[in-house]
Each structure stands twice: as structure tokens, then as C-alpha cells.
Amino acid sequence: MLVADEKARAQIDRILESETFRFSEVLRHLLWFLADKAFSGESDQLKEYTIGLDALGKPTTYDPRQDASVRLQAGRLRQKLTEYYLNEGKSDPVVFELPKGHFKLTWKTRAPIDPSHQVGPAIVPSATAPHRLAVILLCCALLITSAWSVYSTVRLWQARGTSSRQWTPELEQLWRPFIATNRPMIISLADPFFVSLAGKDGRNAFYFRDRSIERWEEAIRSPQFAAVQKLLGSPQMRVDEDFALRGDIMSLFLLTRLLAGPQPNLSVFRLSAVSADDLSNNNILFIGSQRGLSSKLLGLPLPRAELIAEADGIRNLHPRQGERSFFPNEVSTSTEGEVFALVSMVPGPIGNNVVESITSGRTWGNMGAVQFLTDPAFARILVKKLQTPSGSIPRYYQIVLKVRYRNGVSTEISYMMHRDLSSSP
């Protein structure tokens, strides 16, 4: 049963002003548009084309059959609403939903939540001495990691200089889709999923990360997160987007040093900030986890993948004679091991741009792959492997690279195999 418009409109205003939606201008506008249509009784007549024009600012030539922007943004809005009601809006009296497969926004009332019956970790008055020590060590580790990230990137910049690397024919061949065009380019870094836990006064925030968790819905069901929350005696949990991984920062320096000259229209975005319009109108280079990339590319008409990145390695879906079916990572410590990185070059949503992704089980694997793609000597090896009898390289492809690293430095990078996706169905 629908509630009175006054309460529903007030709830929409509350959502639009929330922290969850603060940095999502496209989703805020889409939510406002769908709510306005719902309040006026016009939701049943909504079409994907109309939403594209009126809510997302698409041109009249917009074709929903070739551009999945509306469906992608509707999916993002659905996820954001879920995140909002699991966090800031968990006690709100009006709940808005966007059912899957529909553009009609619905809402319902719910009874006030009794704090004494809330499901979640109990608040403990204090932690034991060993637990306090664990918390202190956790915070110290985060501070050391942050400081080392800044120091390392500055030293890298000083050691290698700020001038662009000398372009070679092989580098030009590898990067031609990004530089031999007037189309803008976006480098997008992963959003490492950190949760902040703070006291009621907002002070003494602690940060926690689990590599296997990348979404808010997973975090609230995680026993590890619940244990940390209980340990700190804080009921408030919030996603924190202020972190970047050290290997990804180094990758960014290498890429911008190479590309900033020949590609003047270059931008850097967080993965979560890349919109469907960005995917259609820019050449994109993603650096991040396979799960994050898959959620962003969901629904796009990509070529059939021959290789996929998993949490513990790279899987070869259709191994040929003499090929391995799986390339397993061997990680000794957080800064030492051997991982396999997957580089994929595929077409964009409507085929007029390119999307390249670099992913592995560790950020050091991503950094090693970027080094391989930006170094003249490595580029010469790679182009020789990729070249067809005509001397060109495939327009779309996937590459597996092996990266050995120690203390956050790549000690060996090797080509393993590749697949030509240009003729994939």
C-alpha cells in the first residue's frame, strides 16, 4: 500500500541528501526523475528511450538496442538504494525499491525499528588487552602503509624523471587505439573496499579490509567484519573510499608518464565513478579486480572471453594442445610471491571505442603488467608474440603475464600466452 505523497517525497529528499548518494550525480538525477514519474502516476508508461533522453540527457539518436546506459544506471541505482537502506536508511519509515527488470519505482512503509531488537553485533563495553593490542597494531599498519605509499611513489617519480618515455614502433603499435584518435581516454583505478568503524562522536575511526569482500551487502554478512565491529564496540559501519593501493598508484605514474604527451585529453577516475556514458564515449583503461571489472562491464556486448581471472589465478577456458588450463598464484606474503595478470582489450558498448582491463590476484601483478606494457624492451617482446603474418596485431585480444615480485618490486615479468578475440562471436 502506497503512503501519502508528503512522506514519500520527504523520503526521496532524505535519500538524495544522503552520504550514499552524495557523489553520484547521475544516480541522484535518475532517482529524482523516476520518483517524480511515480508520484504523478506516469511510471507505467515509462520507456527506456524516454528515460535516456529526459533523465540521462541522451541525444534523440539514442538507440536502447545499442546503448545499455539506462539499464546499467538502473542497476547501479538499485544497488545504491540497497546500500542506503542497509546503512543510513536502516531506520527510515519509507522504503523505496526499483524491482529488477522494471523502471517503476515503488515504495512502502515499515514499522519503526526497536533498537533493542536490532540484529547485529553486540556492543561490548571494552576490549581485552590482547584485543586492544590487535587494534593498535592494525592502525599502525595502516599508517605505515599510507606513509610508505607516498614515499615510494615520490621516489619512483624522482628516480625515473617526469619526461615521457621515448616512443618506439612497438609501443606505438600497442597503444595506437588510445593515441591515434581524438577520443578522450580514462584511466580507472579500483576502489579497494575498506570499512570505517567510528564511535558515536565520529572520532577514533578504525579501518578494516577483507580481500574477498568488495560489496557492502557482503560486508554486513561477513563474520570477520562483525567480529571487528564487536571488538571495537562500535555499531556504526561505513564504506570508506579514500584509499588507493600502492601498486595501483605506481601503475598510474607509469601510464600517465607514457601517455600524457600523445593523449592530452586524459582523465583519471575511480572505478565506481565511471558511468555508462563514460563507457560509451571514452576509451577506457581499467586497473583492478576481476569482480569489480565484471560488475562494471555487465551487460556489454563483449567478445567471448577465452581467459578469465579468478581469485587464485587465471583460467584458460579452452586450452589448446600443450597449454595449461590454469595458472595458479603462489603468494608467500603480502609483498612477495608470483601472480598471473590478465590483460584484455575489448570493444566498448557500441563498438566505437576500446576498453582495456588489467587484473590479477594482487596489486603487484597489475603493476607488473603495466610495466610490461609501457617498457620498450618488453613491448618489443609482446608485439612479436601478438603479430599476425601481415605484421599487425589483433584489434582485440587477451594476454596472460607472469609477475614475480618481492618487497613490492617486480623482479621478473614473463609472457605466458595470448588469445586473438578479433574473430570471436
pLDDT digits (tens, 9 = 90+) for 358-411: 999 888 899 999 999 999 999 999 999 999 988 899 999 999 999 999 887 889
Q: How many structural domains are present in the chain?
A: 3
Least confident of 104-113, 211-220, 280-289, 345-354: 211-220
Whether residue 254 sits in one domain with residue 234: no
> Do 171 and 69 fall into the same domain?
no
What is the domain range of residue 71? 5-117
Same domain, 258 and 383: yes
The answer to whether residues 224 and 271 belong to one domain is no
Residue, of 398 and 227, whose pLDDT is higher: 398
Same domain, 309 and 404: yes
Same domain, 287 and 177: yes
Q: Are 377 and 411 members of one domain? A: yes
What pLDDT, on a 0 to 100 scale, did the predictor assign at position 123? 32
**What is the end-to-end Cα distance of the chain in Å, rounded?**
47
Residue 139 has pLDDT above 60, yes or no: no
Does 249 reside within a domain? yes
Question: pLDDT value at position 347?
Answer: 87
Q: What is the rounded CA–CA span in Å between residue 425 and residue 304?
A: 6
Give the pLDDT mean for 94-102: 88
Residue 377 lies in a domain: yes
Q: What is the pLDDT of residues 276-285, one digit of tens each?
A: 778 878 999 9
The residue out of 117, 152, 177 marking a domain boundary is: 117
Q: Which of 97, 117, 137 is the last residue of a domain?
A: 117
Of all residues in the chain, the percent with pLDDT exceeding 70 is 72
**Model confidence over 240-286: pLDDT tens digits?**
666 667 788 889 899 999 998 888 888 888 877 787 778 878 999 99
The more confident residue out of 114 and 229 is: 229
What is the rounded average pLDDT of the residues 67-76?
80
Task: Tell me if 251 is assigned to some domain.
Answer: yes
Answer whether residue 418 shows pLDDT above 90: yes
Residues 173 and 299 in one domain: yes
Main-chain dihedrals φ then ψ at residue 417, nearest 5 degrees: -170, 170
Bigger pLDDT: 253 vs 215: 253
For residue 155, is it within any domain? no
- The answer to whether position 151 is within a domain reads no
Cα distance between residue 284 and residue 181, in whole Å: 13
pLDDT given at position 205: 64
Residue where a domain terminates, one of 117, 150, 173: 117
175 vs 117, which has greater pLDDT? 175
Query: Are residues 87 and 217 in contact, defined by beta-carbon separation less than 8 angstroms?
Result: no
Q: What is the pLDDT of residues 141-191, one digit of tens each?
A: 444 444 444 444 434 334 334 334 478 999 999 999 999 988 899 998 887
Is 359 within 8 Å of 289 (Cβ atoms)? yes
For residues 35 and 94, the answer to whether their CB atoms sit within 8 Å is no
In a domain, 130, yes or no: no
Q: What mean pLDDT, rounded, does the chain reach? A: 78
The predicted structure's pLDDT at residue 156: 39
Q: Same domain, yes or no, for 179 and 45? A: no
Task: Tell whether 23 and 95 lie within a shared domain.
Answer: yes
pLDDT in tens, 5-52: 788 889 998 999 888 887 677 888 899 999 988 888 888 888 889 898
For residue 122, being part of any structural domain is answered with no
| In a domain? residue 138 | no
- The answer to whether residues 202 and 295 belong to one domain is no
Q: Taking residues 102-123, what's their average pLDDT? A: 63
For residues 110 and 209, state if they share a domain.
Answer: no
